[in-house]
Amino acid sequence: MKKQLIGDVRLLKAKSMRALDDRAINEIGIPGAVLMEEAGRGAVHLIVESGWLKTFDDAILLFAGKGNNGG
């Protein structure tokens, strides 16, 4: 399988992400809400570091689906 990268971030398919979430929640004990908060922070960091935003005054529009699809 070809690795998909955005910058230094490896992209995973939803099935793989669900498996990682399950391990983090059930084996390590990290609450799902904490995982989602960290995912949000990571997304913002990626957007800012990528240069897509020129200033913090720029606006971003995010579209989100129904959820439960691997974060």
> Which amino acid is residue 22, in one-letter code?
D
**38 lies in a domain?**
yes
State the total domains in the chain.
1
For 3-41, the pLDDT digits (tens) are: 555 666 677 888 888 899 899 999 999 998 899 889 888
Residue 3, domain extent: 1-66
Better-predicted residue by pLDDT, 61 or 42 = 42
**71 lies in a domain?**
no
**1 lies in a domain?**
yes
For every residue of 5-69, DSSP letters joined together read: EETTEEP--HHHHHHHHHHIIIII---HHHHHHHHHHHHHHHHHHHTS-SSTTS-------SS-S
**35 lies in a domain?**
yes
